[in-house]
């Protein structure tokens, strides 16, 4: 929905961090001051002044001071000795256009001599001023953030700190005339960088949330709902399309699903987010006619199409998991949301319909929205609710195979059954490929890691776009899966081969782990072994693994024709704190080792 400048800021910070591989450049002092301006008792604008003192410790260098601006946030000053401000358009693959621009200063530094960069901006639309990230790509000795709230706003405006380091507190000072100053000071702050499997900075890095722009959820809703304009275009075509889609369907659940499916497959995602369009949904008639839109436009179209066939369609504001950590009721601010979906209000349930989730199985909610709090429009009122969690086991990957030993290879048929998030991800990737390269994609998707495979037939079951499961089958020869040592035959089956998680580097890590979603994987592998061989009793067993994050088992047993290997893994907690990362790594390694343990067969 609204691609906050904050998100761009975080992207820029990690880019600068990547370029600043070593710590030659540090910031000795950073001061950020935000002056809130009041007009008629309301917040009218915010003046932000940021000063960074850079220091090159070992050798002359060039520091980069970066800030973003757009039509709603002006850049008033950017200066540093020996540096000229450069202004560029900022383009992002996820957004077609949002008007974001970047201003940067390349600050030349002489060793051991500080140089200051000053950047001043004005937030002209106060709704944009809802979060302050307390991060920097550079190591910072001292950082001070100050928010000055005039007395007339002191009752309304609140500052809520989040993810502050231990021992750091938000201070509050009151002046004699009632003006408030909020202060956070950070000492010895490490530079931010990308870490694999770490929660995104927006939900893990220190920040300050500014609330009070909206007194409560009701006022926030009033603002957001106020951006929606009546549709003054021709809605007859979309109504006709909706009618055609629901023709012959006898219940509203199926009708709503048919409409949502059509929107997902026929409306290209193309986000235009500049100015008011960051909040205002595009008219349904326009989205229908253009055949493209962002999440807001798609949601608005679903709503309109639902209503045209007599289903109570609504717009829904939501903050997606992995990017927003707060509920609307907790922080009534635009920062608590970044996405819009639609809802069909049925007599006994609410169906949530995400217009951007192409190939989403019917009745399934993608990990980004499941469990998240929502605001559903209800005329002048609103409904607070929560997207239900998917049923247990919805995100499942089943691997079934039937092999026979063929020299040092195993040959046979494999079947992969994908549901939930697996299906969703596969279908989007598959259908997004040029037709001539889809087979290549399937091969690469099905190939077990670190194994050479010869392929014969490959088949992707042709199912409805919203089917609950995708089934891929292939006849394969997996090379070098068998080792002979004396009279012993070792089979390398790797039943949980589809786990792509890898242990993370612990040294220097600053954040914990958060998976985007939990999962369940199962495997059933039958192997027909050559005559005269049987499973080594020492191998015939069930090996379990159990940790807060992964639990499951791998079992190998004899069958009349050979052996059967079955396995299952379920995720538990999808998060691990920084202190727990070594244990998480160990748990993952244990799981992988158990899966990769070879099966020994001995001569009968």
Partner 1 sequence: MKYRAVILLIAIAAAIPAMALNEKFFRKADEKVWTMNIPEFNPRTEIPDSVADGASAVVIADYLDIKVDREIQQSALKATGMTNRMTRDKIRRVMIKMFDQSAVERFTDFEFGDRESFHLKGMLPMLGIEKAWGAKVHKPDGTVIDVDIKDAFSIGDGEKGDDNRKFKIAVPGLSVGDVLEYYYYTEEWLEEFNLPSVNIDIAGSYPVLNLMVKGEFNPDLTIEYRSHNGAPLLYREINERGYNTFNLHIINIPAVNIGVFTSAKRQVPFISMNFLNNTSMIFRPRSARAGGLYGNLPAGTYYTDVANMLKATKYDNPIPGRAIKLVKDYQKTHTDLTDDQLAAVAWIAFNYAVITNDRHKIGDRLGAVMFCDMLKKLKIEYPDALGIGILTPRTDVPVNEIISWNDPDYVAVYGETIFSPPLLLNNQPGEPAGIYQGEMVAAFPALGDKIDPSKQPVIFNVKSLKHTGNSTVLSTDVTIEEDDRLRLSHNMKLYGAQKHNVAGITTPDEWIMRAEEFLEIPEGKRVKSTRRDPEGRQTEIKKAMFDWIENSMGTRPESIEKVEILSRGNMPGETAIEYNVDCVMDGLVSRFGNDYNVNIGRIFGRNPQLEGKDRERSFDAMLTVPVQDSYIVTLHIPDGYSVAPESIASLNSRVINLAGMFYSDAHLNETGDLVIQSRVQLKSNIVPLSHWSELLAVLDAAALFNDTSVILSKK
Q: Are 501 and 307 in contact (CB under 8 A)?
A: no
Which of 215, 437, 544, 603 is the binder for partner 1 (CB under 8 A)? 437
Which of 248, 507, 531, 604 is the binder for partner 1 (CB under 8 A)? 507
Q: Is 169 in the site for partner 1 (CB under 8 A)?
A: no
Each residue 345-384 as x (binds partner 1 by CB under 8 A) or -, in order, gives ----------------------------------------
Q: Is 240 in the site for partner 1 (CB under 8 A)?
A: no
Which of 243, 265, 384, 464 is the binder for partner 1 (CB under 8 A)? 265
Q: Is 139 in the site for partner 1 (CB under 8 A)?
A: no
> Nearer Cβ to partner 1, position 1 or 482?
482
Q: Are 498 and 483 in contact (CB under 8 A)?
A: no
Q: Which stretch in 240-248, 283-291, 345-353, 510-518 sits in contact with partner 1 by CB under 8 A? A: 283-291
Least Å distance, CB 437 to partner 1, is: 7
Least Å distance, CB 420 to partner 1, is: 22
Which of 39, 77, 111, 215 is the binder for partner 1 (CB under 8 A)? 111
Site for partner 1 in 80-109 (CB under 8 A): 85-89, 91, 96-97, 101
Least Å distance, CB 128 to partner 1, is: 19
Give 435: exposed, middle or buried? Use CB within 10 Å, 0-12, 13-18, 19+: exposed
Q: Is 142 in the site for partner 1 (CB under 8 A)?
A: no
How far lies 370's CA from each of 46, 127, 303, 322, in Å? 35, 26, 20, 11
Nearest Cα to Cα of residue 69 among 40, 85, 89: 89
- Within a 13 Å sphere around the CA of 328, how many CA atoms are in the beta-carbon half? 27
DSSP state of 274: S
> Nearer Cβ to partner 1, position 71 or 413?
71
Least Å distance, CB 272 to partner 1, is: 8
Q: Is 292 in the site for partner 1 (CB under 8 A)?
A: yes
> Nearer Cβ to partner 1, position 285 or 370?
285
> Nearer Cβ to partner 1, position 150 or 465?
465
Paired tokens of 338:
């970044």
Least Å distance, CB 485 to partner 1, is: 4
Q: Is 236 in the site for partner 1 (CB under 8 A)?
A: no
Least Å distance, CB 335 to partner 1, is: 26
Contacts of 486 by beta carbon, 8 Å cutoff, 6+ apart: none
Which of 21, 230, 248, 457 is the binder for partner 1 (CB under 8 A)? 21
Cα dihedral sign, 437-443-449-455: negative
> Nearer Cβ to partner 1, position 112 or 254?
112
Give 78: exposed, middle or buried? Use CB within 10 Å, 0-12, 13-18, 19+: buried
Nearest Cα to Cα of residue 316 among 260, 397, 234: 260
DSSP state of 127: G
Q: Is 408 in the site for partner 1 (CB under 8 A)?
A: yes
How far lies 460's CA from each of 155, 439, 445, in Å? 61, 9, 12
> Nearer Cβ to partner 1, position 216 or 439?
439
Each residue 45-74 as x (binds partner 1 by CB under 8 A) or -, in order, gives -------------xxxx-------------
Paired tokens of 539:
């191998």
DSSP-assigned letters across all residues of 376-401? EEETBEEEEEEPPPPPTT-SEEEEEE
Least Å distance, CB 56 to partner 1, is: 8
Alpha-carbon span 317 to 330, nearest angstrom: 15
Alpha-carbon span 211 to 205, nearest angstrom: 18
Contacts of 140 by beta carbon, 8 Å cutoff, 6+ apart: 26, 27, 28, 30, 186, 188, 189, 191
Which of 173, 505, 546, 603 is the binder for partner 1 (CB under 8 A)? 505
Q: How many residues bind partner 1 (CB under 8 A)?
A: 68
Which of 22, 250, 380, 462 is the binder for partner 1 (CB under 8 A)? 22
Task: Name the helix (H) or strand (E) containing 241.
Answer: helix 236-246
| DSSP bridge pairs for 417 | 398, 471
Which of 234, 378, 389, 439 is the binder for partner 1 (CB under 8 A)? 439
Which of 167, 347, 379, 486 is the binder for partner 1 (CB under 8 A)? 486
Q: Are 288 and 238 in contact (CB under 8 A)?
A: yes
| Residues at the site binding partner 1, with contacts judged by CB under 8 A | 21-24, 58-61, 85-89, 91, 96-97, 101, 110-111, 265-266, 268, 270, 272, 289-292, 408, 431-437, 439-440, 443-444, 447, 450-453, 455, 479-480, 483-486, 490, 492, 502-503, 505, 507, 538-539, 589, 592-593, 596-600
């Amino acid at each position: 929905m609204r691609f906050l400048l904050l998100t761009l800021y975080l992207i820029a910070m990690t880019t600068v961090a990547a370029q600043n591989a070593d710590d030659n450049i540090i910031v000795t002092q950073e001061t950020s001051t935000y002056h809130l301006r009041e007009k008629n008792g309301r917040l009218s604008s915010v003046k932000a002044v940021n000063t960074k003192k850079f220091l090159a410790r070992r050798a002359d260098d060039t520091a980069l001071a970066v800030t973003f601006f757009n039509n709603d946030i002006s850049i008033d000053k950017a200066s540093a000795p020996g540096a000229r401000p450069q202004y560029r358009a900022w383009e992002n693959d996820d957004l077609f256009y949002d008007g974001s621009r970047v201003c940067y200063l390349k600050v030349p530094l002489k060793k051991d001599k500080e140089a200051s960069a000053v950047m001043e901006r004005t937030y002209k639309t106060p709704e944009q001023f809802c979060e302050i990230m307390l991060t920097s790509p550079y190591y910072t000795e001292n950082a001070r953030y100050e928010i000055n709230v005039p007395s007339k706003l002191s009752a309304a405006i609140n500052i809520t700190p989040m993810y502050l380091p231990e021992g750091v507190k938000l201070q509050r000072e009151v002046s004699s005339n009632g003006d408030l100053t909020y202060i956070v000071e950070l000492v010895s702050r490490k530079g931010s960088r990308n870490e694999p499997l770490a929660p995104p900075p927006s939900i893990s890095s220190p920040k300050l949330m500014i609330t009070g722009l909206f007194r409560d959820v009701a006022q926030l809703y009033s603002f957001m709902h106020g951006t929606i304009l009546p549709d003054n275009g021709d809605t007859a075509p979309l109504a006709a399309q909706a009618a055609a889609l629901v023709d012959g369907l006898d219940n509203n659940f199926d009708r709503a699903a048919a409409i949502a499916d059509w929107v997902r497959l026929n409306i290209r995602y193309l986000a235009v987010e500049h100015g008011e369009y960051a909040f205002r949904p595009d008219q349904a008639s326009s989205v229908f006619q253009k055949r493209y839109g962002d999440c807001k436009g798609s949601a608005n179209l679903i709503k309109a199409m639902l209503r045209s066939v007599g289903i109570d369609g609504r717009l829904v504001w939501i903050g997606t998991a992995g990017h927003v950590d707060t509920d609307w009721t907790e922080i009534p601010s635009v920062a608590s949301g970044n996405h819009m979906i639609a809802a069909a209000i049925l007599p006994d349930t609410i169906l949530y319909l995400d217009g951007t989730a192409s190939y989403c199985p019917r009745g399934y909610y993608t990990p980004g929205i499941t469990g998240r709090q929502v605001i559903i429009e209800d005329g002048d009122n609103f409904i607070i609710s929560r997207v239900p969690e998917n049923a247990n086991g919805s995100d499942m990957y089943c691997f079934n195979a039937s092999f026979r030993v063929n020299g040092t290879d195993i040959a046979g048929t494999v079947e992969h059954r994908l549901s939930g998030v697996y299906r969703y991800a596969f279908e989007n990737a598959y259908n997004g490929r040029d037709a001539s390269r889809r087979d290549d994609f399937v091969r690469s998707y099905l190939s077990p890691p670190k194994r050479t495979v010869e392929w014969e037939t490959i088949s992707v079951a042709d199912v409805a776009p919203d089917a609950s499961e995708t089934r891929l089958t292939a006849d394969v020869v997996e090379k070098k899966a068998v080792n002979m040592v004396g009279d012993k035959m070792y089979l390398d089956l790797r039943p949980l081969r589809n786990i792509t998680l890898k242990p993370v580097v612990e040294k220097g890590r600053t954040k914990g782990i958060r998976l985007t979603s939990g999962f369940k994987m199962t495997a059933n592998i039958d192997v027909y072994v050559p005559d005269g061989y049987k499973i080594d009793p020492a191998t015939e067993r069930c090996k379990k693994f159990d940790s807060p994050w992964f639990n499951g088992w791998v079992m190998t047993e004899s069958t009349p024709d050979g052996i059967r290997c079955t396995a299952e893994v379920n995720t538990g907690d999808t998060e691990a704190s920084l202190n727990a990362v070594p244990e998480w790594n160990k748990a993952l390694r244990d799981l992988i080792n158990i899966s990769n343990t070879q099966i020994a067969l001995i001569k009968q």
